[in-house]
A and B are shown apart, each in its own frame.
Chain A
């Protein structure tokens, strides 16, 4: 008869719970609601704790947690099915605002004028499938392979969605900066 292994609360706290900020941030971006984000983060951490033995040491614990979070969100919290993409994700023609900014705002001061709330609101307006990859990549720093696993999509899809998401967001932020008077639109007198 072998003794049951001792509980590993300390290990969980040290390697998983340290990512609570990331879990909460992502929950907030996915659900768009602070109360729901807290519930979602708490449920994710509890599920992760209970399946802690399935975690493979040495792999990215944050990515593991965000996968649990994403599955919990999709299965229990999402009220509506994925909306169809509002833009064609297979069309990868870039529409960077670089050219506009080059002429109108060479010092890129509009980046400095935009505050956290401006950026987060613009992210929250992205269609869900774009928002998801952008949050996992650009806020939480996951690799394409980790995002593919977390979102359950092929790496090629991650790549094209991320490209689109970044460019849409950039355009939105640029338009916002123009409207707010931070920069003058290219070609405007």
Chain B
């Protein structure tokens, strides 16, 4: 059984991704943190969404560029007639 939702729960739900992404202001972050410490429902949701974002990252980053592409680009950079200077 989850606990009844409050106005705070709705606000926290809306801000949850910003919170998990570290994009909230320190004051807003502290408010979300305080609510999560008090509310088992939102704490469970935050835990679930954290797992979801980790899962997305883990399932999508394995595939890199093919080796021949790297070599092709390196060859092209070496033969570029107007190589740039350092920024």
Write the residues of chain A forming the contact surface with B, with a CB cutoff of 8 angstroms: 4-9, 11-13, 17, 20-21, 23-25, 28, 38, 41-42, 45-46, 49-57, 92, 94, 96, 98-99, 101-102, 108, 111, 114-116, 118-120, 123, 137-139, 141, 143-144, 159, 162-163, 166, 169-170
Contacts and interface: CB of A to CB of B under 8 A. Distances in A.
Contact of A46 (B21, B61, B73, B87): B73
Nearest to B72: A42
12 contacts: A7-B84, A17-B74, A20-B64, A20-B70, A24-B66, A42-B69, A46-B73, A111-B51, A123-B60, A139-B57, A163-B17, A166-B53
A144 B19 CA distance: 12
Interface residues of B, number: 40
Nearest to A24: B65
Interface of B: 2, 13-14, 17-18, 21, 23, 44-45, 48-49, 51-53, 55-57, 59-66, 69-70, 72-74, 76-78, 80, 82-87
